[in-house]
Amino acid sequence: MVAGMIALAGAVAANLPGLRPELNGFTAWTKVSSPKDTGGPHAGLSKVVFANKIASDAWKKKGALPLGSIVVKTAGAIANPTFIAVMLKQKSGWYYEEYFPKGGRYAVGAGGPDGQGLCSNCHGDAANDSLFTRP
Ligand code: HEC
Across 1-27, average pLDDT: 69
Which residue range forms the structural domain that includes residue 70?
2-123
CA atoms within a 13 Å half-sphere pointing along the CA-CB vector of 90? 9
What letters, b where the CB count within 10 A reaches 16 and e where it falls short, cover 63-76? eebeeebbbbbbbb
Q: Is residue 128 part of a domain?
A: no
Best probe residue, ligand 1, of 106, 122, 130 (max atoms within 8 Å of C-beta): 122
Q: Is residue 131 part of a domain?
A: no
User: pLDDT value at position 6?
Assistant: 46
Number of structural domains the chain divides into: 1
Q: Which atom of ligand 1 has the smallest separation from the CA of 97?
A: 35
pLDDT score of 47 more than 50 = yes
| pLDDT, mean over the chain | 89
Q: Is residue 135 part of a domain?
A: no
Q: Is residue 28 part of a domain?
A: yes
From the CB of 44, is ligand 1 less than 6 Å away? Answer: no
Query: Other C-beta atoms within 10 Å of 80: how many?
Result: 11
The whole-model pTM stands at 0.91
Q: Is residue 32 part of a domain?
A: yes
pLDDT score of 65 more than 80 = yes
Q: Is residue 70 part of a domain?
A: yes
Q: Which residues neighbour 81 within 8 Å (Cβ) at sequence distance 6 or greater?
A: 16, 74, 75
Nearest one of 85, 38, 65 to 135, comparing CA atoms:
65
Best probe residue, ligand 1, of 60, 119, 120, 131 (max atoms within 8 Å of C-beta): 119
Ligand 1 geometric centre to CA of 2 (Å): 34
From the CB of 110, is ligand 1 less than 6 Å away? Answer: yes
Q: Is residue 60 part of a domain?
A: yes
Across 35-58, average pLDDT: 88
Q: Is residue 20 part of a domain?
A: yes
